[in-house]
Amino acid sequence: MTTNKKVITKDDIVSKYMDEVLEKGQKPKSVYHFAKENDFTEAEFYAFFGTLEGLEKEIFRLFFENAVDLLHKNEEYQQYDMKNKMLSFYFTFFEILTANRSYVLQSLKIDRNPLKNLVQLTSLRDSFKNYVSEILTDDYRLEQEKFQKFQEKAIQESSWLQLMLTIKFWMEDESAAFEKTDIFIEKSVNASFELMNVAPMNHLIDFGKFLFKEKIHSR
């Protein structure tokens, strides 16, 4: 009598990959080795992922996706302004990272070349930048439309840099319950939104337009 083999899911593959990295302290040599050691086929792997590198990127994107899903289940979150949405994201995202801290530390330090480790974060980067764009409100937009696209990209990139710095701080944080990271998050997000205050920039642009018109009329 034959038994039906369990259908492997995307989550199963992700879980098995994380376990293998943690238990062996290194990445699988190939999809073939990974599939064979975990009792599924290469075809089952390729149904969800094109490469092991793609799987690594997806793990960090899933951390992000889980955080955003949790936020959207909170009715109060929808009423928050941009700064409080960002703070809520940070605290939720880092709770998820902390729940998977051993894997995150291992995977981001596994290669001697830091840049190779950071490749895993490219999907997270794209998702996070889209998130920043989605929560960006008129309070932080320049009045002049022709500057808004440039401004949005600048905010996305600076927000990503801030997230990377926070991840680095969290990885090195040895405080109980990572309370220093919580303080870092609150202070850095508050500071970044102070810098995003567009009122002075709008005044500066208006002043520049005034000077330009005056110069034209004086000719």
Angle between helices 52-72 and 101-109 (to 10 degrees): 140
More confident residue, 141 or 55: 55
pLDDT of residue 114: 81
Q: What is the pLDDT of residues 152-201, one digit of tens each?
A: 888 899 999 999 999 999 999 999 999 999 999 999 998 888 887 754 44
Model confidence at 145: pLDDT above 80: no
Q: What is the pLDDT of residues 43-62, one digit of tens each?
A: 999 999 999 999 999 999 99
pLDDT of residue 208: 46
Residue with tokens 């092991």: 52
pLDDT of residue 1: 42
Percent pLDDT > 90 in the chain is: 69
CA distance 39 to 94: 32
* pLDDT (mean) for 73-102: 96
- Could you tell me the pLDDT band of residue 108, with boundaries at 50, 70 and 90? very high
Angle between helices 145-172 and 101-109 (to 10 degrees): 100
Helix ranges (DSSP H) in the chain: 10-24, 31-37, 42-46, 52-72, 82-99, 101-109, 114-118, 122-135, 145-172, 179-195, 199-217
CB 93 within 8 A of CB 67: yes
Model confidence at 41: pLDDT above 60: yes
For residue 39, the 8-state DSSP code is: T
Cα torsion through 87, 91, 94, 95, rounded to 10: -160
Q: What is the pTM of this model?
A: 0.86
